[in-house]
Structure 1
C-alpha cells in the first residue's frame, strides 16, 4: 500500500471512530445512561396528517404506574432534536416526555404553523397515553414552540397543570393572549440577551423584559417583574415566575442555567417528580458534534479514493498552474469575496423569505432566501470576474481555471460519480447512525438530518440553483484567488479559502452581538432570525472551503467540488428548513 492509500485508510478509520464513537456517546446521553427509553411515535392530526415525535420513557413507568407528562416543542426551523437538553432532564426527573417536530418541520407533515403549531394534537396524544398521568402534565416550548404550548393550553384548558415559555411569550404572532390566570402556573425563562425581545415581550432591549407592560399584565402587577420571585399561587393555578439566564435566544438550548430553571419550574408545579443531581444532556450534544466532525472528515478520503478508482480516474488531471499573483489586486478581490456576500445577505434573505411566493417548486421560505442570496452572489461574481478578464486579457477557457471538460460528458459524469459517491457514503453513515442510535450529526444550531421522501423532492427543485452558485464559487476561489502559494500547499489553500469565505460572516456576527451584549439589542433588531441563521453559515462555509479546495487539488478541475458541495449543502438546508407549502 503506497503512502497516499495509507493516509486515506487512516483518515477513514479516524472518521468512522468519530462517527460511531460520538453517536454511541450521544445515545448514552440521550437515554440518560440507559435509564430512559426513547421511542419514535406518530401523532395524528385532524386532517389525517401526522406529527413526528420522540417519546422519552423513564425506567419503571408502566400503565399501572404512570408518570407525569411533559410536552416539549422546538422553535422555528428547528426540530425535536433541539429539545434534547430539556427532554433528557425532564425524563431523568421521572417524566414521560413527548418532543415533537412541529408541522412542516423535520418529518411532520406540512405546512408549517398548522394545527396550533402542533401543540393541541400533541397534548391530546400525551394526555391519552397510558403511561402518562393525565392529571399531571406540563407544557414547555422554546420560541415558536412556546406559542404551540399556549395554543395547546387554550384549546385544552383542563389537560395541563403548568407551562414554561423559553424565549417565548403569550399573545405573539397569533398565539393566545395571556393574563394573570392564563396560562396556568406560567414560568417564563427569557434570556438576558434574547434577540427576539421586540417580538415576544415588546421591549426596546432584552434586559428591559421585567419592565414590559405585556409581561406585567400576565404576572398581575403594574411594577417591574422581579426575577426569581413566585407571583400568585401554584395551588390555584395562578403562579408566575421569571428567570433571565445570561445567554441568547438559541443559547438557551445549551445553557445549564436555562435548562435547570425550566425543569425546576415544572418540578415545582407537577407532582410525582424525582430528584436528580447535575445534568447529563451535554453528553448527547458532545456526541452528535463529534459525529458531525467525523462525517465531514469522511468526505476527504471518500473523494481521494473515488477519484483514483479505475473507472473514475478520468475525472482528474494534474493540478494546473495558478492564474493569480498575491498582489494588491488579489487582496482587493479577497476582501470583496469576504464582504460582498455579507452586504447581500440581509436584503436577499428578507426578500426571498418574505416576498418570493411559496409554491410546490419553492416550498421553503427561508430556503428561498438562501437561494436568492446565492444567485445574487453569482451575478456579482460573474460581473467582477468579467471585469477582471477584460482588463487582464484572460479567458475563462484558460485551462488553469479547471473549467475544461476533458473528454466531454464523460469527465462531467465521472466527476458527478465522485461527488455522489462521497455524499452518498456520508448519507449511508447517517442512516446507520439513525437506525442504531436514533441520533443525527449536530452541533448547536447546525444539524445534518436524513431526508424524508418529500425532502428529496424539494431537494431536486433547489439543487440546480445551488449548483450554479457553487460552480461560480469554484471559479472564484481556484481561478481569481489561487496563487502559487496556495497551489503548492493544500493546507494553506484550505486555510486561505476558509478565512476568505467565512471572515465576513464572523465580522457580521461580531458586530451584531457586540452591540447586543453592550446595549441589550442587536444592531439591527428586526434581522434576528437571519442573524441566528448566519451562525449556520459560519459553520458550513469552512466546510465548503475545505471540500472545494481538496476536490480541486485532487482532480485539477472545478466539477467534483461544485457538484459535491451543491449535493451536500442542498441536502443539509432542505432537511433543516420549514416547509410552508401544503403538499
Structure 2
C-alpha cells in the first residue's frame, strides 16, 4: 500500500508526533520547568497501595513549605481526568497530590485512599500541614467527606465538583471553606435547578449562584458555581478550574498573590490536552507504517495480499445497510447493558460494568451476525462466498503468523506507553481513556475482554469490508482514505449524533436531557466513540494490506480489551 521509502518516513513522522505531543504535555505538567513531577505510591490504612502524581513547585522547601492540595477523581476514572487542577495549582505555588482512588487506575482495591492521601501529603516536609485543601469530583467528593471524617488532618478548603453536599451538616465532623461547582446539565446533580438542599450547609436561605457567603478566615466561606457543561467535562471546564484555583488562594494563601502567582484566567491545561491528543494520535498512526514494514519481512511476507475487488456495495446498499449496522450498535446499548447489570447481581464479576459491557458487545455482535446472515441469504446478487471465506480460513500457519503480527503491534504500543509513563509521568491520552500501563491484576482481564471483542470485530470486518465494501479507486492511497472515512462514518456517526443531542441539547436548555444513571451511562459513548473510529480505520488498512479480517480483528480486540481493563474499576 505504501512505497518502500515512504513507509519508513511515515513511521518516523508518526513517532515524531507521539514524542512531540508528549513533550508538550510534559512541559505543561511541569509548569514550563517550575514544577517537579513524581509518581509516588503509599499505603492506606487497610494495606492497599495508592498510586498518585505529585506536583511540587521547585521553590517548595522545608524552610519555606507551601500549601498542599489533594485531588480525587470520580467513578470509572483515574487521576489523569483531574490533572487540569494539578497543573494550574502547582504552577501557582501549591503542592498537589492527585491520586488514583482505591480500585481505580493503578491503585489496589480497598478503602481509605482519601485519608491516606491527606496523611501522605502532610508528611512531606515542604508542605505546610496547616494549610490543606481537598478537591473531589463526583465519587471523589464522597471520598473527600470520608477523608475529613477519618483523618486527623484538618482540611481548610474543599472543592466539590458534581458531587453531593450533606443535607445535615451534623453528619460530618466539620465543613471547611466549601466551593460547590456543577455543570448546568449534569445528569447526576439537582443543584442547578434546585439550590434548596444546599441551604443547611451554606447556613443561609435562598442560595444564589456566584455569591460568596461567610468568611474565609473562620472557615465559613461558601459558594455555588454553575458552569455550562455536563458531568463528564466538569473537570476540564475553564470556569470550574479557574474558580477552584481562586478558592484555594483565598482559603490557603489568605488571598495573597505572591511573585509566583499567575492570574486564574491564564490557564495552561488546554495545551496539556492538545499535547495528549497529538501523542495518542501519533501512537495509533504508527500502527500503519509499522505493519507495512513488518509485512516485508520474510516471516510475514506470505500474509501480504491485495484486497479482492470483485464485490463492492452499491450506494443504496451502503446507505441503507450502513445505517442499519450503525443503529444495531447504539440501539442495543441500554437494553443489553441492563441485561449485564442483572447478571452482575448473580455473577460477582470483579470489575464494575465489566459484565454489562461484555453483554452489550456479544449481544450486538449476535444481532449483527444474524442480520448479516439473513441479508446474504435473501440477496442473490451478494457474492457471499467471497466475503465469508476471508473469515473462515483453514490455513493454521497463516493464522498463527497473523496472531504473532498482531501481538507485535500490541507490544509496540505498550512499549511506547511505558516510555511515556516512566520517562514523563504521562499516559498516551487526551482526557478520555487512552493507553495506560497495566498493573498485574488489570493485565489478567485483557484475555477475558479479548474474547468478546475479537468476535465483535470479526463480524465488524464482515460488515465494513464485506457487505459494505466500497468500490476500488484508481489510486491505492485514495481508496484507503475513502474506505477509512466511510467505515468511520458508519461506526461513529450514530454515537456522534446521540452525544451531540445530549451535549448541545443540555447546553441550549441549561438542563440535562437524560437525568440520572442513564444519562451518566453516556460516559461509555464518549469513551468508545474515538476508539471505534480508530478501530474502523485499522480494520480497513489491515484488510487492504492482507485481504483478511483476522489481522484487524485481533489488533482491535487487543487494543479495546487493554483499554477496558484499564478503565473499569475493581469492586
Instruction: Return the TM-score normalized by structure 2.
Output: 0.93
- 1:129–1:4 CA distance, 2 compared to 1 (3 A): same
Partner residue in 2 for 1:56:
55
Assess, with a 3 A threshold, how the Cα gap between structure 1 residues 152 and 391 changes in structure 2: closer, same or farther. same
What is aligned with 1:430? 417
Residues 284, 265 of structure 1: CA spacing in aligned structure 2 closer, same or farther, 3 A cutoff?
A: same
How many residues align? The count is 561
State the distance in 2 between where 1:404 and 1:269 align. Answer: 63
- The answer to whether the aligner puts 1:300 opposite 2:283 as a matched pair is no
CA distance in 1, matches of 2:299, 2:411: 18
Superposed, 1:201-240 pairs within 5 Å as 201=191, 206=192, 208=193, 211-223=194-206, 225-240=207-222
* 8 Å Cα contact 1:320-1:402 kept in structure 2: no
**Does 2:445 correspond to 1:458?**
yes
**Corresponding position of 2:36:** 37
> How far has the Cα of 1:427 moved from its partner?
1.2
- Greater CA deviation, 30-39 or 365-374? 365-374
SS at 1:253 equivalent: helix
In the alignment, is residue 154 of structure 1 matched against residue 140 of structure 2?
Answer: no
Runs of 4+ more than 6 Å apart: 178-181, 394-397
**Do residues 276 (structure 1) and 259 (structure 2) align?**
no
Corresponding residue of 2:188: 196
Q: Report the Cα offset of residue 246 of structure 1.
A: 2.2
Q: Could you tell me how far apart the structure 1 residues matched to 2:286 and 2:309 are?
A: 28
Q: Distance in 2 between matches of 1:486 and 1:373?
A: 36
In structure 2, runs of 5+ residues without a counterpart are: none
Shift of 1:485: 4.2
Q: Secondary structure at the match of 2:445?
A: helix
* Partners of 1:150 and 1:183 within 8 A in 2: no
> What's 2:369 paired with?
382
User: For residues 396 and 52 of structure 1, do their structure 2 counterparts lie closer, same or farther at Cα, with a shift above 3 Å needed?
Assistant: farther
Q: Does 1:549 align with 2:540?
A: yes
CA contact 2:309–2:472 (8 Å) conserved in 1: no
Measured after TM superposition, the shift of residue 162 of structure 1 is 1.2
Q: Distance in 2 between matches of 1:123 and 1:534?
A: 34
Contact 2:61 2:126 in 1 (8 A): yes
Distance 2:262 2:425 in 1: 24
Secondary structure at the counterpart of residue 33 of structure 1: helix
- The CA distance in 1 between the partners of 2:50 and 2:170, in whole Å, is 26
1:578 corresponds in structure 2 to: 569
Choose 241-250 or 464-473, whichever is displaced more.
241-250
SS of structure 1 residue aligned to 2:227: coil
Report the alpha carbon displacement of residue 349 of structure 1 after superposing the two structures with TM.
2.6
Residue aligning to 1:444: 431
Cα distance in structure 2, aligned partners of 1:349 and 1:486: 40
- Cα distance in 1 for residues equivalent to 2:166 and 2:536: 43
Deviations 1:408-445 (A, max 9, x none): 11111111122111221111111111121111111122
- Please say if residues 29 and 282 of structure 1, whose CA atoms lie closer than 8 Å, have aligned partners that are also in contact: no
What pairs up with 1:26-175 in 2 under 5 angstroms?
26-111=25-110, 114-115=111-112, 118-156=113-151, 159-171=154-166
Q: Structure 1, residues 485-517: CA drift from partner, whole Å, max 9, x if none?
A: 479711111111100011110111122224322
User: Are 2:555 and 1:558 equivalent residues in the alignment?
Assistant: no
Moved more, 427-436 or 315-324: 315-324
Rate the CA distance shift 1:36–1:109 in 2: closer, same or farther, 3 A: same
Distance in 2 of aligned mates of 1:451 and 1:167: 29
> CA shift at 1:146, angstroms?
1.3
Q: Indicate how the Cα distance of structure 1 residues 462 and 178 shifts in structure 2: closer, same or farther if over 3 A, else same.
A: farther
Correspondence for 1:352? 340
- Alpha-carbon RMSD: 2.4
8 Å contact 1:401–1:557 — kept in the other structure? no
Matched residues in 2 for 1:161 and 1:406: separation?
65
Q: Is the 8 A contact 1:430 1:450 kept in 2?
A: yes
1:345-384 C-alpha deviation (Å, 9 max, x unpaired): 1222344246425867x42222322221111111111211
Does residue 490 of structure 2 align to residue 500 of structure 1? yes
Change in Cα spacing, 1:396 to 1:102, as seen in structure 2 (3 Å) is: farther
- TM-score normalised by length of structure 1: 0.91
